[in-house]
Amino acid sequence: MTPLSRRTDAAEFAAARGDRGSGWLPQSRSEVLARNGIVATSQPLAAEAGLQILKDGGNAIDAAVAAAAVLNVVEPGSAGIGGDVFVIAWLAGEKRLVALNGSGRAPAGATPQRHAARGIDSATVPGAVDAWDVLLKRAGSLTFKQLLQPAADIAEQGFAVSERIHDDWIDGAAILRTDPDSVATYLVDGKPPAPYSVFRNPALAHTFRVLGTQGRDGFYRGEIAAALLAKSRTLGGSMTAADLEATHADWVAPISTSYHGHDICEFPPNTQGFAVLEMLNIIEACAPECGIELAALGPKSALYWHVLIEAKKLAYADLYTYNADPAFAEIPIEKLISKSYAAEQCRRIDLGRASIPDAEADPAGGTVYLATADRWGNMVSFIYSLYEGFGGGITVPGYGFVLNNRAALFSVNPHSPNVIAPGKRPFHTLLPGFITKDGLPLTAFGLMGGAQQAQGHAQVLINMIDLGANLQAAGDAARFSHAQADNTVELESSLYDLLGLQLQKLGHTVASANGKRMGGYQAVSFTPAALPPLPVAAGSRPSAEPIAGVYRGASDHRKDGQAVGW
């Protein structure tokens, strides 16, 4: 028998899964409940860093940036300062929902002839650091130095590599081997670091300390900018100092639709947010149009999943047709997320037979998502990414971060609204979600995973709103992932065992899958509560009490993460 201390893979572990003692028995864990705030991320060290910021007096915006910086260290293949950020946040001081587009633009030298899937010509100008700066200046309370210190410490001291992160590292090893600086930074003897080994990135620690001292300008004008541009020139890239200087995040208005008494808020183009809203609208329209109520059917019905999959196909057909940078293209958002259009779309669904959509290339996965909330009522839905594993595979020497490959999602078709052009933002998969009810914040949620994101949003929302799942159960439930490219539906194994044959009979091409391609979900929700007055001793001042209610947090068992609160 392999000694416990040497076991690195539980794949051969043959035991049956145990049950909870109450509630929905397959649920992986309870929701995390807290009064003063919650941080939910895909990696425990990042969650703990954000929580410590809250305990030290920072707010949810501060905690999100601190956690995001740590995720650059511990999930380096998924996200980092060489990538992009999107945020939807409820700002308690302003009593409003805001959205920040921190995605980068194509450099001035970008052309269809220079378009690439990986390598230096696949990189857009990184938007993450600028987005952090813009977000903090509007709503943060702490400095870059304070917020980036936990990430710098972990990068310098090292962290233990988990099974899941090691698996992601294996996926990225091939692209890392194309760049000597990536090999030197991210591979150990030419290989991904082993599970349970300690991985250090002192160059990235230095980068965070530079940012702590110099702020945003250290990245876009200072020594980091100089190193980035030198690397680009060495590889024949077209990025310039003017491209970095011109980087700016934009405040935009979230888009939304009502769904069974809730307002579902998503990010507008250049992201795929409208596909979530269109999908939900189609499903809602199918109740009067087709006599289909999801709650009545339930998730043990093949027809339930058939309707979801067919609605997804219709929404994604529009997504791949229209999504682009709205500064360069007219996108009929009002029509696409309207109830009348959804009714038209619903009439295209054949309840007895699966449709065949036009084949479209589906975006790949990567990415991290996190959610935070604080004692004052701020709530943040935050996502950022390099796109594919380790992005373009290009590491900036001396600074320990890789550049994204977001330009891979541009089109080279001159008739496409998403055709590559200088200064243009590409089609983006990144998707923070938010739910409000009666004009008040309810839930910050998201789900990473490329083309899985929009269809994953719809699934967890339906679990909560139609089926009554709690925050954790909504993410634990089995999901599907449909690929528009080959019209294949992957079902998590338990769902495949339950309904795979019935869905095949409806004409779907189905395959059994594990959770790797189903996306990593995090969520934070607020439940208001009337509280009795806080007792105050004679002669003393009343203590500051958190917002009246309870925060609930959840984290996906498919990733390494956790929700933590205080």
In whole angstroms, what is the distance from residue 106 CA to residue 535 CA? 58
Between CA 441 and CA 280 the distance in angstroms is 20
The residues, any chain, with a CB within 8 Å of residue 561's CB and separated by 6 or more, are: 40, 41, 42, 43, 44, 46, 47, 520, 522, 555
- Compute the residue count for the chain: 566
Chain centre to alpha carbon of residue 537: 46
Q: For residue 379, what are its two tokens?
A: 């709530």
| Backbone φ and ψ of 53, nearest 5° | -60, -45
Q: What's the order of all strands across the beta sheet hosting 480-483?
A: 480-483, 488-492, 509-513
On whether the CB atoms of residues 268 and 253 are closer than 8 A, the answer is yes
- Please give the DSSP secondary-structure letter assigned to residue 548: S
Annotated active-site residue in 247, 367, 395, 429:
367
The yes-or-no answer on residue 367 being catalytic is yes
Q: Where are the beta strands (DSSP E) in 153-275?
A: 159-160, 198-199, 250-252, 255-259, 262-266
Burial degree of 415 (CB within 10 A; 0-12, 13-18, 19+): exposed
Q: Which residues pair with 513 in a beta bridge?
A: 492
So which residues are the catalytic ones?
367
